[in-house]
Amino acid sequence: MLYIKTDEEVGLLRKSNMLVSKTLAEVASFIRPGITTLYLDGIAESYIRDNGGIPAFKGYGGFPATLCTSVNEEIVHGIPSGYVLREGDIISVDCGVILGGWYGDSAYTFPVGEISDDVKRLLRITKESLEEGAREAVAGNRVGDISHAVQKRAESGGYSVVRELVGHGLGRKLHEPPEVPNYGKRGTGIKLEKGMVICIEPMINMGKKDTIQLRDGWTVRTLDGKPSAHFEYAVAVDKGKADILTTFEFIEEVLNKM
């Protein structure tokens, strides 16, 4: 069952997603060679709690941490650990919070030090595919319009789209209907209505689309071992123009200073 949010509820979701945006920027300031992913997890948990939130992922389905930290060929759901980041790595950091009973959820893939031009291009086009998908989150469109826009941009860059993992609705639960695939046909899927809040999250592989889940029961990586990138916005469907509840501005301010 779809849950249509009131303007007031969208405002509360904006606050929770703003906390996620600021948490990711705080984490960004510590990403460098020599730092462990577990250290980044501690930074995020402290920041969320200090700002009145609760880490949404910790304990969710038994997940043990505040962040999902997925490095290089890991696509999503990586568990923070003693892994030491190295020059040239990329790391997807996915973060969720609960603030006043409402969920926030966003992800950003960061370079660690200097990365190759090929991987820079993967990150750029994955982010562009997110932006193009988000522009389609307008009342009267369909979920397939979002999916098609993401797929078209990613595949036009020569990349592949992960099929097994999708975006989702967001509200008083972390995962609500509808599912939002990153591939599909225009004009298909449910019709978007003002007040729907969804997470759009392209997971784009440099190589083939095939994936494998690791024995930890969480981490999903590319089957061919090539890098993958992941970016995520929470978006409120509105009339005429999508209302993006996430901002990457704080993150990019940090990255531009590094």
Per-residue pLDDT tens digits for 78-132? 999 999 999 999 999 999 999 999 999 999 999 999 999 999 999 999 999 999 9
Q: Quote the pLDDT of residue 1.
A: 84
Mean per-residue pLDDT over the chain, rounded? 98
Q: What is the DSSP letter of 73?
A: T
Average pLDDT over residues 152-163: 98
Q: Quote the pLDDT of residue 185.
A: 98
Q: Quote the pLDDT of residue 254.
A: 97
Dihedral sign for Cα 9, 14, 17, 23, please. negative
Q: Quote the pLDDT of residue 126.
A: 98
pLDDT of residue 258 exceeding 90, the answer is no
Q: What percent of the chain is modeled with pLDDT above 90?
A: 99
pTM of the model: 0.97
Rounded distance, CA 209 to CA 231, Å? 16
Question: 102: which residues sit within 8 A by CB, 6+ positions away?
Answer: 9, 12, 13, 15, 16, 171, 172
Q: 7-257: which CATH architecture?
A: Alpha-Beta Complex (3.90)
pLDDT of residue 152 exceeding 90, the answer is yes
**How would you classify the pairing of strands 220-222 and 176-180?**
unpaired
Q: How many helices (H) and strands (E) does the chain have?
A: 5, 15
Banded pLDDT at 77 (limits 50, 70, 90): very high
* Burial call 224-248: b when 16+ CB within 10 Å, e when fewer: eebbbbbbbbbbbbbeeebbbbbbb
pLDDT, tens digit, for every residue of 28-53? Answer: 999 999 999 999 999 999 999 999 99
Q: Quote the pLDDT of residue 193.
A: 98
